[in-house]
Copies of this chain bind each other. A is one copy, B any other.
Amino acid sequence: MTSTSRKTEDPATAPSIAGARPTRQRRAVASALQSFDDFRSAQDIHDLLRRSGENVGLSTVYRTLQALADNGDVDMLRTEEGEAIYRRCSTSHHHHLVCRACGRTVEVEGPAVEKWSDSVAAQHGFTDVSHTLEIFGTCPTCA
């Protein structure tokens, strides 16, 4: 390899925001996201960082999380109460099976659902279609 600078994309590691500076704060948030498997709120993640010694402003946590979500690098959904919660995720389109008790989350795919959704929308003449779908239940451990 020559001395030419390259984008060094870590294969399976924390995501970075396209066209943004990889600051200490953004790295810290991205890293924190790797440390849990359930959905957490911006404030939860802020606390997590605080406790782990990383000092990141709450505003920055909000901003970073939103940027990552817009970028498709984390999944964001809303609690019953309307609070935004985040979780790292695979990049392909998928949905979630979430435990109501402990928050444990499984990513699931359903090609049939995708097709159904598009077809139903088409039947009614809707275009530019998207959808949201989450499944909630009690996981084996919590049952």
* Interface residue? A116 (CB, 8 A): yes
* Closest Cβ–Cβ distance, residue A60 to chain B (whole Å): 20
Chain B residues within 8 Å of A106, by CB: 124
Chain B residue at minimal CB-CB distance from A130: B136
Q: How many residues of A contact B (CB 8 A)?
A: 34
Chain B residues within 8 Å of A117, by CB: 135
Task: Give residues 88-118 of A contacting B (CB, 8 Å).
Answer: 97, 99-100, 106, 108, 110, 112-113, 116-117
Chain B residue at minimal CB-CB distance from A99: B126
Q: Are A120 and B110 in contact (CB under 8 A)?
A: yes
Q: Which residue of B82, B100, B108, B120 contacts A135 across the interface (Cβ within 8 Å)?
A: B120
Q: Which residue of B83, B110, B120, B140 contacts A116 across the interface (Cβ within 8 Å)?
A: B110
* Interface residue? A50 (CB, 8 A): no
Chain B residues within 8 Å of A32, by CB: none
Task: Give residues 52-105 of A contacting B (CB, 8 Å).
Answer: 78, 82-84, 97, 99-100
Chain B residue at minimal CB-CB distance from A115: B112
Chain B residue at minimal CB-CB distance from A140: B125
**Taking beta carbons and an 8 Å cutoff, which residues of A are in contact with B?**
78, 82-84, 97, 99-100, 106, 108, 110, 112-113, 116-117, 120-121, 124-140, 143
